[in-house]
Amino acid sequence: MRDVAIVGVGMTKWGELWEKALRDIYVETALLAMDDAGVDHIDSMYIGCMSSGLFVGQEHLASQLSDYLGVNPVPATRVESACASGGAALRTGFLDVASGMSDIVLVSGVEKMNDVSGGDATYALGTAADQEYECYNGITFPGLYAMMARAYMERYGMTREQLAHVAVKNHENGSKNPLAQFPMKVTVEQVMNSVMVAEPLRILDCSPITDGAAALILCPLEMAKKMGKHTPVKIAGSGHATGSIAYHGRDDLTTLEAVGRSGEMAYKMAGVGPGDIDAVEVHDCFTIAEILVIEALGLVEKGEGKSAAESGKTALGGPIPVNPSGGLKSKGHPVGATGVAQVVELTKQLWGECGERQVKGAKRVMAQNMGGSGGSSVVHILEVA
């Protein structure tokens, strides 16, 4: 298996992009990444997208987007794993380069969620859960994560304020990210008094509905070393795991098993452990998710995640910075794009290009991208090569 590196990244400001179509935001970020890498062609492309069918009435993005980017006939493939689609697309692109089939591969994530062509966004997002057994019986995504929060509060004595500290930290980081959808700072009081969505989760515990895209250029590490523009970032570990899609199918209601398994695979492949990681981007679709994920990845002990944001442990200057980009919470969460955007952020962290939100001296970083209520998870570990 060939070693694989990231040599270019592209991302634009996320938000409610009413004036742009999915194909527009895709092409913008893809061209930024190609420019950043200094490449004038690609050998293949992968697109992470959760539900362009339900959101904008368009499947077959592989053909549409290779066409609009002007690169057909290159092989193009769309990869879907709900909100982990971006991470899964990166893993698939990684395998393409690792196998020797392709040299220069464009990996993108994209989602247009605001202009829903039929139905509504809640229904579309429900397709990430076991729709027939969960959502058709009345639960929504905030409801699923609210049950996790309640179960965790019950077992580990987490306070409502501790949840709020996750949002406060991520908005603090996001305020330093010019591409974030909601770059305003928030206080614990604002979170605690924001509109209730699904008890105990309030609107400021939830990631938003976002239009956005992000892109990466991969190539063999040996080729990357000769390209010279950026220090190559090696994909040192790639882990991917599945678990019960339905929340009621889990052995333990406060453990995200697929996250733990995907982390173990990535650590093993990279030959490192949780203590060797300098910064992480995790899938904080809700404040409780960040807490459960950092526990599952072994970054904090089980039951200790609740105080990580409150104590400053996961703050930008803390021992293990979590979501320096602002996370899904502040940066936004165009579902299929998130996993790629996490890696855009971390690559820029390794290049020292993050300005005010730079994690000083970051040499090895990790991205964790989750599908649904934890039914799938993808983890990548990146190192300065």
Binding site for a copy of itself (CB under 8 A): 1, 21, 44, 50-54, 56-64, 66-67, 72-82, 88, 91-92, 95-96, 98-101, 118-119, 123-124, 126-132, 240-246, 249, 257-258, 261-262, 371-372, 375-376
Q: Which residues are registered as beta bridge partners of 107?
A: 46, 216
Min CB(123)–a copy of itself separation in Å? 7
Min CB(95)–a copy of itself separation in Å? 5
Q: Which of 83, 206, 285, 354 is catalytic?
A: 83
Distance CA(113)–CA(196), nearest Å, equals 22
User: Which string of DSSP letters, residue by residue, matches 210-275?
Assistant: -BEEEEEEEEEHHHHHHH-SS--EEEEEEEEEE--SSGGG-S-TT--HHHHHHHHHHHHHHT--GG
Min CB(81)–a copy of itself separation in Å? 5
165 is catalytic: no
| Residue with Cβ nearer a copy of itself (327 or 374) | 374
Residue corresponding to tokens 């996370």: 327
Distance CA(329)–CA(32), nearest Å, equals 24
| Residue with Cβ nearer a copy of itself (147 or 158) | 147
Residue corresponding to tokens 């970051």: 362
**Structural tokens at position 269:** 């492949």
| Residue with Cβ nearer a copy of itself (37 or 61) | 61
Min CB(71)–a copy of itself separation in Å? 8
Phi then psi for residue 215, to 5 deg, are: -145, 150
Tell me how crowded residue 56 is: count the other CB atoms within 10 A of its CB: 22
Min CB(68)–a copy of itself separation in Å? 9
Min CB(226)–a copy of itself separation in Å? 22
- DSSP character at residue 303: T
Distance CA(315)–CA(312), nearest Å, equals 5
| Residue with Cβ nearer a copy of itself (126 or 142) | 126
171 is catalytic: no
| Residue with Cβ nearer a copy of itself (126 or 232) | 126
C-alpha closest to that of 212 among 8, 29, 348:
29
How far, CA to CA in Å, does 30 sit from each of 37, 79, 101, 103, 170? 11, 16, 21, 17, 27
Helix (H) or strand (E) holding 9: strand 4-11
Q: Which of 171, 230, 333, 380 is catalytic?
A: 333
**CA 3: distance to chain centroid?**
23
The catalytic residues are: 83, 333
